[in-house]
Each structure stands twice: as C-alpha cells, then as structure tokens.
Amino acid sequence: MHRKEPTSRVVIKFVIAIIIAAYILFPFALVVINSCKATADITANPIGFNGVSIGQLMQNLNDVINNTNFLFWHAFGYSVLITVLSLILLALFGSMTAWVICRNKTVWATVIYFTFIASMIIPFQVVMLPLISTFRDVGKFIGIPMLQSVPGIVFAYLGFGGAMTVFILTGFIKGIPYDLEEAASIDGCRPEQVFFKVIFPLLTPVITTVTILNGMWIWNDYLLPSMMLGQNGKVKTLPVAVQAFVGSYVKQWNLILTAALLAIIPMVILFLFAQKQIMNGMIEGAVKG
C-alpha cells in the first residue's frame, strides 16, 4: 500500500516516539521512585535512586494509609461504593429513559430529549451552590440526609450523568429495528418485558461505553464530592481525601507522593486489564457526545 519507508526515517520516528513516551511517563516514574525514599533523600536528589528501599516504602505506606486525614481504605471503599452504585443506576435508569424517549413520538418525549441535550452545556459551577441548599432542604423534608451521605451523592451523579447517558443510549436504541419489539409484543410480552428481555440485552456494547465514560468522570471527580461531602466529613472519596491530606502536610513530599501513588494505582491496574475497552469507550463517547 505504501512506498516502503527508508529505514533511517523509521528509526527516527521510533526514537521520537520513545522520547515522548519517556517524557509522558517520567512523572509516574518519579512518583514510584520517591515513594520509596525519606524526605531528606528526596530534597537532596529527587531523580536518583539513592535512599530507595522497600523498607522506606513500607514505612511511608504505613504512615499514609493510617493517617487520620487520609484513611486510604476508608476513602477507597467509599470511592468504589459511590462509583459502582452510580454506574449501575445510571446504566439502568438511563437506558429505561432512553428507550421510552425513542419509542414515543409525542411532544413531551421530544421536549425531555432536547432538555437533556441542552443541559449538557451547563457547567457544574452554575448549579453547585444552589444544589447544596436544595439538597439540604430535600434531605430535611424526606428525612434521608442528602449531604455527606452516599445516597445523596449517588443521586447527584444520577442527575448530572443522566443527560449524556441518555443522549448516547438514544442514539444506539434508534438503530434497533422496531420489528423486534413488535414480534415480542405479538408473542404476548408486556412493555416492561419487551424492554428487559429484548432491548436491554442488546445494549451491552453501548452500556460499556457509557459506563467507562461515566466511571472515569465519577472516579476522578473532585468538585462535586468536595462540595457535597465536605473536606472533613465521614464519607470521603479518594480525590477529596488526597486534597485533605496534602492540605495538612505541607512539603512532606515522601508522604504526599506515596498518597499520590495510592490514588493512581487502582486506575492504572484497571487500565492494564481493560486498555482497549477504556480507550474505545473514551473515543466513542467523544465522537457521539
């Protein structure tokens, strides 16, 4: 297909690719190296390997994990719980909503759809302040605390992630032939059975996309949890815990970098296992969204 490229150019390109990769991965390497050092060794020489020892890493890990401002396992657990709950509910309710919007040619379905689309441009900053007071009032009214609680923040993610989720899912459901549903109806399926038995299983690829997009956002989100959960609340997500921890330890770089390492590792491990899915999900989300 191509004229064969001269070897010299291939080599140059390869070298450039390696240099860029080194530049991009360099910060990660620094985090790993310096998590294995004491503060004095870091300030003396942040790049070299002197002072690196597994013992020091264990020491740092121990100091960070049990720190009262960080409480790694606590924050990690809450992050996982909040992310997983939000993702499951977003996928379920999102596809239910998208299906109803697709199968109704009425005015209100169109209105709902365009409201969702229009809302995607609203930045979080515009609603974050009244959101807190609204949630406080709603929580008081229904008797379930909505601030500093897991149900509250999952509910908020449901509201904020809803628009994009419905948008991507509607695009997909429109492509599913209606004959399929008619056949199921004729065979005696009720509408909800049609959805759960016929449509929902077909959505697997697009739900994967949506889950990856939402998952990346919710896991790394800082502003919403910091506003809703507070810096020193009982419930904390990982980004909030990192911020609270670093705020309390100025320039203790060995501890700060160890905390960063702990925050990075879960995502990197996930990426190693699901590289292709994550990258494809991010691409599809961008192209459709």
Q: Which of residues 48-87 bind another protein (CB under 8 A)?
A: none
Query: From the list 57, 80, 112, 274, which residue makes contact with another protein (rule: CB under 8 A)?
Result: 112
Residue count of the chain: 289
Does residue 283 bind another protein (CB under 8 A)? Answer: yes
Q: Which stretch binds another protein (CB under 8 A): 49-57, 58-66, 200-208, 219-227?
A: 219-227
Least Cα distance to 213 among 128, 273, 283, 155 occurs for: 283
Query: From the list 6, 7, 8, 24, which residue makes contact with another protein (rule: CB under 8 A)?
Result: 24
Does residue 17 bind another protein (CB under 8 A)? Answer: yes
Q: Which is nearer to another protein, 38 or 128 (CB)?
A: 128
Does residue 3 bind another protein (CB under 8 A)? Answer: yes
Q: Which stretch binds another protein (CB under 8 A): 57-65, 70-78, 127-135, 176-184?
A: 127-135
| Cβ 269 to another protein shortest distance, Å | 11
Q: Are 136 and 146 within 8 A, CB to CB?
A: yes
Query: From the list 111, 159, 174, 178, which residue makes contact with another protein (rule: CB under 8 A)?
Result: 159
Query: From the list 45, 53, 110, 232, which residue makes contact with another protein (rule: CB under 8 A)?
Result: 45
| Cβ 199 to another protein shortest distance, Å | 11
Long-range contacts of 30-39 (CB under 8 A, 24+ apart): 30/257, 31/257, 31/260, 31/261, 31/264, 32/261, 34/253, 34/254, 34/257, 35/60, 35/61, 35/254, 35/257, 35/258, 35/261, 36/60, 37/254, 38/254, 39/252, 39/253, 39/254
How many other CB atoms are found less than 10 A from the CB of residue 128?
A: 15
Q: What is the DSSP letter of 149?
A: S
